[in-house]
Amino acid sequence: MKARIKITLKNGVLDPQGKAIANALGALGFGGVEAVRQGKYIELELAESDPARAEAEVKAMCEQLLANTVIENYQFELEPA
Amino acid sequence: MRASVVVFPGSNCDRDVAVSLEKLTGHKPAMVWHGEPQVPDSDLIVLPGGFSYGDYLRSGAMAAHSPIMADVVAKARKGIAVLGICNGFQVLTESGLLPGVLMRNASLKFICRDVWLRVERADTIFTKGYAKGDVIRVPIAHHDGNYYADDETLDALEGEGRVALRYCDAAGEVSDEANPNGSRASIAGLLDESGRVLGLMPHPERLADAALGGTDGASLFASLLETFH
């Protein structure tokens, strides 16, 4: 299966990189950008084919390594290979 | 004092800290590769500065799961002193030995310069060589030193007196202007609940010899020597 994982900063956590991106977009003339939050996107190719087991496995990976849950949220989608 | 310095791929202050320790104690610390299963019997374990695993994913995240770290965490929980400097501080937060996280500097810039620190706790094994309120000059060199913890955690840390060092100006005043990286509460150095684990972003090992322009960092190592002889 394939897992597509999105990791984003929690609300309330300052995102200076997002702010810099917003400023740069403004400088390029894109005036309508009210806020930018940036994050990470990770794709995994999993040997596991059972969706329930894959979900549990990816959740554990996010909790233990891929996200730092002090400051980050994660969400993911699974799709058959 | 028996000291061990853990070396991760990408550590680059391991030898600096080893020199500081050897100069003071007369003994070379054990240099322990991160792939080893165990740290030799030690009074002090140092997680040095550097860019372990190239800071991939998050600074310190990969190193926190190195084989050696299970033993470092186990030994810390038994009361062995652990000192994490710069990347070592990041490894300590990622491994759960210290709360919070070190985020990208608020300025987004890598900052490499001397800063002033106010000693908030002079009654710990790491800082007994200083006096409370001392203002010391120590260099920082980091991109991710912006300490963050949520309000509740921060209140608890302050309530328990866990902030050992704070960024300040030359007069010892703590302010946003004197905060180089945006750290909450100007936190530069943080203790665990036992007081035997210290993480700090500044590099005491880089100003621990008069030939390098200052010795304010040397008292930290002297404090440890006084504790462990």
Asked whether the predicted pLDDT for residue B123 surpasses 90, the reply is yes
* Residues whose CB falls within 8 Å of the CB of residue B176, separated by 6 or more in sequence, listed in order: none
**Å between B45 CA and nearest CA of chain A:** 23
DSSP single-letter state for residue B217: T
| Res B204: pLDDT | 97
Asked whether the predicted pLDDT for residue B24 surpasses 90, the reply is no
Task: Sort out which chain B residues have CB atoms less than 8 A from A65's CB and list them.
Answer: 57, 61, 65
The beta-carbon neighbor of B148 closest among A13, A17, A65 is A13
Query: CA B105 to CA B94: how far, in whole Å?
Result: 17
Residue B214: what are its φ and ψ, rounded to 5°?
175, 160
Does the distance separating the beta carbons of B101 and A70 come in below 8 Å? yes
What the block records as the tokens of B94 is 């990622």
Partner B, chain A 21-50, Cβ-Cβ below 8 Å? none
Task: Sort out which chain B residues have CB atoms less than 8 A from A12's CB and list them.
Answer: 150
Does the distance separating the beta carbons of B99 and A68 come in below 8 Å? no
| Res A14: pLDDT | 87
Mutating which of B102, B103, B143, B152 best tests the A interface, going by the most A Cβ atoms within 10 A?
B103
Does the distance separating the beta carbons of B101 and A71 come in below 8 Å? yes
Q: Which among B147, B124, B87 has a CA at the least distance from the CA of B220?
A: B124
Task: Sort out which chain B residues have CB atoms less than 8 A from A17's CB and list them.
Answer: 104, 108
Does the distance separating the beta carbons of A68 and B108 come in below 8 Å? no
pLDDT band at residue B199 under the 50/70/90 scheme: very high
Task: Sort out which chain A residues have CB atoms less than 8 A from B104's CB and list them.
Answer: 16-17
Query: CA B197 to CA B188: how far, in whole Å?
Result: 14
Give me the helices (H) in A1-81, please. Answer: 16-27, 51-61
Asked if residues B192 and B176 have their Cβ atoms less than 8 Å apart, the reply is no
In tens, the pLDDT along A39-80 reads: 999 999 999 999 999 999 999 999 999 999 999 999 999 998
Query: CA A62 to CA A72: how far, in whole Å?
Result: 10
pLDDT band at residue B146 under the 50/70/90 scheme: very high
Residue A45: exposure state from Cβ atoms within 10 A (0-12, 13-18, ≥19): exposed
**Å between A35 CA and nearest CA of chain B:** 17
Percent over 90 (pLDDT), chain B: 97
Task: Sort out which chain A residues have CB atoms less than 8 A from B108's CB and list them.
Answer: 16-17, 20
- Which residues are B141's β-sheet partners? B112
Rg (CA), chain B: 16
Does the distance separating the beta carbons of A14 and B108 come in below 8 Å? no
Asked whether the predicted pLDDT for residue A81 surpasses 80, the reply is no
| Separation of CA B141 from chain center | 12
Prediction pTM value: 0.94
Partner A, chain B 125-144, Cβ-Cβ below 8 Å? none
**Residue A55 one-letter amino acid:** E
This model of the complex carries an ipTM of 0.86
In tens, the pLDDT along B27-82 reads: 999 999 999 999 999 999 999 999 999 999 999 999 999 999 999 999 999 999 99
Residue range B182-208: mean pLDDT, rounded: 97
Q: Which among B151, B152, B160, B227 has a CA at the least distance from the CA of B190?
A: B160
